[in-house]
C-alpha cells in the first residue's frame, strides 16, 4: 500500500509553536517591526559563559578555553 510520507515533527508544527533560539528571535517572529540584527543577544552570552563554568573539561576539549598551565 502507498502510505503518506511523514514529515519531520518540526515541519508538522505551526511556526507559532516552535521554540525560538533566543528572546529577540521570538519577539521578531511575533512583531515584524523588530529587526533581530540590531539587538545584542545577552541571553546567549550568559548561557555560553555559564556552560564554560559548568563543563570546564568539555570546554577545554572543544578548544573554547586555554589549557591551564
pLDDT at residue 4 is higher than 80: no
For residues 56, 51, 40 and 22, what is the CA-based torsion angle, rounded to 10 degrees? 150
Between 3 and 55, residue with greater pLDDT: 55
Provide the grid cell at 22.
533566543
pTM above 0.75, yes or no: no
pLDDT digits (tens, 9 = 90+) for 18-36: 666 677 888 888 888 988 8
Q: Which residue has the higher pLDDT, 9 or 59?
A: 59
Taking the C-alpha atoms of residue 44 and residue 20, their distance in angstroms, rounded to an integer, is: 12
pLDDT digits (tens, 9 = 90+) for 37-61: 888 778 778 888 999 999 999 999 9
Amino acid at each position: 500500500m502507498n502510505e503518506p510520507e511523514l514529515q519531520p515533527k518540526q515541519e508538522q508544527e505551526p511556526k507559532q509553536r516552535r521554540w525560538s533560539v533566543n528572546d529577540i528571535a521570538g519577539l521578531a517572529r511575533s512583531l515584524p517591526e523588530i529587526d533581530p540584527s540590531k539587538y545584542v543577544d545577552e541571553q546567549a552570552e550568559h548561557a555560553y559563559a555559564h556552560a564554560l563554568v559548568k563543563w570546564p573539561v568539555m570546554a577545554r576539549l572543544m578548544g573554547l578555553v586555554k589549557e591551564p598551565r
